Structure 1
Amino acid sequence: MIIRCFQNLNQSSLHLYRGICTSRPSSSVFDKIKNFLLAEERENFDRDNIRKAHQKDNVDEKEWALIYRDVGASRTFYMTAAFVPSFIVGSSIFAFDVNSNSPGNRFDFVQKLVTDSEELGVLIALPSVALAVVFACLIRVQQLRLIRIYQNKNDAEQFMAIRSKFIVKQHKELFRRDETTGFYFADDQTDGVRVAMHFLLGNIQIGSRKSMIIDDMFRANNYRSYMLNETSVPPRL
């Protein structure tokens, strides 16, 4: 009887082990981040996406129509909003630890960075400059790129842009159609020059502030052309 009990126990354990092994593993944080960055989007102006945009921005859907939605800008905003403060905090900890503590009392990661820097010598300037350039580009794009644009249903001349503020926040910027101007680059310029100009100067100006938009992110081309004063016929809202 004792032997049978052990056999039954072993069989139960085996079934349990198989059940655990064949169960679907839970997604990790990295999988969620990957899905956030790479997941296929539904139609950019899908009804559910429009509703979520109005809720997120706290904008009245009865008064404002969503005419521009840049999913890439939204994603890079959150990435930059997480990276920049983390980089600043990490750099501050590094500088404080190096200046305040002896090598034996420093954090492990700080001491490792110091050791690697000493081994690289003057070559440390290369990754430092590259990191500074990436950091500056992220901040510049964060300042220029518009995330969403709404148009007033009661006054087609009035618009509202959702853009970055202080890198980690989003805010609403009201403007009128007569305040907008599009930048048009010469046809003989190379694609590389045009991209560089977009990053440095943007491709539209709202009032005195330069911004950057992507034409394909508008609901339709007539919304873009009307906002930039290229046509005089207001689109259907």
Structure 2
Amino acid sequence: MITRCLLSIHSNSISRGFSTSRPSSSIFEKIKSFLTSEELDNFDAENIQKAHKKDRVDEKEWTLIYRDVGASRTFYMTAAFLPCFIAGSTVFAIDINTNSPSNRFDFVQKLVTDAEELGVLVALPSIALVFVVAFLIRVQQLRLIRIYQNKKDVERFMAIRSKNAIIQHKQEFRRDEAAGFYFADDQSDGARVAIQFLFGNIQIGNRKFMIMDDMFRANNYRSYMLNETSVPPRL
């Protein structure tokens, strides 16, 4: 009878599509796939529609001319990391200043023990961590995620950028407010990248930003926006 019951359960499991195997993908694999996945066409119809929907921009009024997939991915990763880092640092500081060593959180006790073992050398990872966080915030502020151009008034543009490092913000600007920086072009590759990540490579109004030239729909969209040509592109 027991055998019959087991066979019945097995049969029902198969017929209902139950799976006893564990999912092979992990959170790490999903994050890795999110960061490294490539798209066949940066401006295919589906991607354009998703961008307009995400940004709540009317597709009949605006044309997507710039779409930086890498900036979009790193934006979400940084926007998730920074609040966690700030919250963890706050808990650490409060726990250190308000509780005795035996009453502190386990991770706080471990960090304090590791710091005491390192002695003065603890300054090295601390400085490195501060540098990494500052660099992430700076890059988050500089990189433009998407740019739209108005179909009726080709002098009008709209940039999707980071605001306060954790939210996306729409910034409208006119063509005469945009200009490119080329002082880093004569530098070596390493110096050029460092300068662009620190100071950007374009200016909109009184703010500096960073763009990737190959993320435009075509080069004439970039050159027109930056006042390098006077012929507007087809929208």
Partner SS, residue 173 of structure 2: strand
Name the TM-score, length of structure 1 as normaliser.
0.91
Q: Partner of 2:179 in structure 1?
A: 181
Q: Partner of 1:112 in structure 2?
A: 110
> Which is greater in Rg?
1
Q: Partner of 1:141 in structure 2?
A: 139
Evaluate the alpha carbon distance shift between residue 32 and residue 150 of structure 1 in structure 2; reply closer, same or farther with a 3 A threshold.
same
1:60 aligns with 2:84: no
Question: Structure 2: any 5+ residue segments left out of the alignment?
Answer: none
What letter corresponds to residue 166 of structure 2 in structure 1?
A: V
Cα RMSD over matched residues?
Answer: 1.9
**2-structure distance, mates of 1:186, 1:24:** 51
Moved more, 199-208 or 178-187: 178-187
1:89 positional shift: 0.7
What letter corresponds to residue 207 of structure 1 in structure 2?
A: G
1:24 positional shift: 6.3
Q: Partner of 1:72 in structure 2?
A: 70
Alignment partner of 2:198 out of 166, 184, 200: 200
1:214 aligns with 2:212: yes
Name the TM-score, length of structure 2 as normaliser.
0.92
**1-structure distance, mates of 2:230, 2:22:** 57
What letter corresponds to residue 190 of structure 2 in structure 1?
A: G
Q: Partner of 1:29 in structure 2?
A: 27
Question: Structure 1: any 5+ residue segments left out of the alignment?
Answer: none
Q: Partner of 2:129 in structure 1?
A: 131
1:36-55 aligned within 5 A: 36-55=34-53
Note the alpha carbon deviations across 1:29-82, whole angstroms, 9 max, x for none. Answer: 333222221222231001011011111111110000000000110111111111
What letter corresponds to residue 144 of structure 1 in structure 2?
A: L
Evaluate the alpha carbon distance shift between residue 214 and residue 99 of structure 1 in structure 2; reply closer, same or farther with a 3 A threshold.
same
1:185 positional shift: 2.7
Aligned residues: 231
What letter corresponds to residue 97 of structure 1 in structure 2?
A: D
Partner SS, residue 40 of structure 2: coil
Identity %: 73
What letter corresponds to residue 45 of structure 1 in structure 2?
A: F
